[in-house]
Amino acid sequence: EISNVEIYDCEFKNGGTTRQVNDCGGDGILIINPMENSHDINIHNNKFTNWGRWCFAIDLGGNGECIENVKFNDNVCIQYENNINLGGKFRGLGWIDFEARKCFRNLEVCRNYVKGCNGWAFNGNGKISENVTIANNTIVRTFYGLQPAGVYPYMFEFYYANIKNLLLKDNDLSKCQAGSRLGLSLNNAIIEGNKFPSSSSPTTIRRPVGNIVVNNNTALDSGKCFNFSYFSYPDYYKE
C-alpha cells in the first residue's frame, strides 16, 4: 500500500541511463504495484528534468485495485537538449505511465508545464476510473531535432481504462504533435476550452455514453479534431 504521501518542493534530475537502450531506467517517481487499495498521493510543486523513461509512473502488475485521491499538480517537467544517450538519441518514453493494472478515483493532473517526451499511458485493467480532472496544463512535444530512442507516439493513450466523469479543460496541447485516445469508453465528459494540435493528430472518443459536452475548443487547422467510434455500450454498463 502507498497512502498519505505528499511530495513537494523537490527536484528530480538526470534520471535514467545513458546506455544505448530504449526502455531501461529513469523514472522521476516510480511506484511499483501496490497490491492493497491505496489513497491520498499528492505530488505537487516539484521540478523534473531529463528523465530517461517516465516522469511519474505507477507500473507493473495488479488486478484492478483502486487508488483514490491522486494529485499531480503544479509541477514543471522539462527535458533539455542534453538529454541524450551514448548513441546520440534523445532519451525518454513519455511523461506519465499508469501501466500497472489499476483504476483510479478522484485523479487530478492540473497546472503542469511539460516539455519533451509528453505521452501519458493509462492501462486501467478494464475497470472504471471515476472523476478524472485534467486542466490548465501546457504540454509541448519536442526532441530538439534529435532522434528519440523509444518515445511513444501519442499524448493521452488511455487504452484499457473506462473513464467516468472526465473534465478536460483549458489545456494547451497545440504543440503536442500527437493524437489521443480517451479510454476504452467514456461516460460523462466535459471537454472545453482546450487547444489541440492539427487534424493529423485527432482525439478519439470511444463508446461514448451519458453526457458528452465538447465546447469552445480550437485546433491548429480546420480539419477533424475528434473521432467518435465504437457506438456500443461498454461491458460494465447495465442501465
Per-residue pLDDT of 52-81, as tens digits, reads 999 999 998 899 999 999 999 999 999 999
Q: What percent of the chain has pLDDT over 90?
A: 77
- CA–CA gap between residue 237 and residue 227 (Å, rounded): 21
Average pLDDT of the chain, as a whole number:
93
Find the helix or strand (DSSP H, E) in which 163 lies.
Answer: strand 162-169
pLDDT at residue 239, as a whole number? 60
* Amino acid in the structure at residue 232: S
The 10s digit of each residue's pLDDT in 122-155 is 999 999 999 999 999 999 999 999 999 889 999 9
Alpha-carbon distance 68 to 80, whole Å?
Answer: 33
pLDDT 10s digits, 160-208 = 999 999 999 999 999 988 889 999 999 999 999 999 988 888 899 999 9
HSE (side-chain half, CA atoms, 13 Å) at 59: 15
Q: Which residues of 207-236 are buried (b: 16+ CB within 10 A; e: fewer)?
A: bbbeebebeebebbeeeebbeeeeeeebee
- Scanning the structure block, which residue is given the C-alpha cell 532519451? 91
Q: Which residue has the cell 531501461?
A: 24
pTM of the model: 0.95
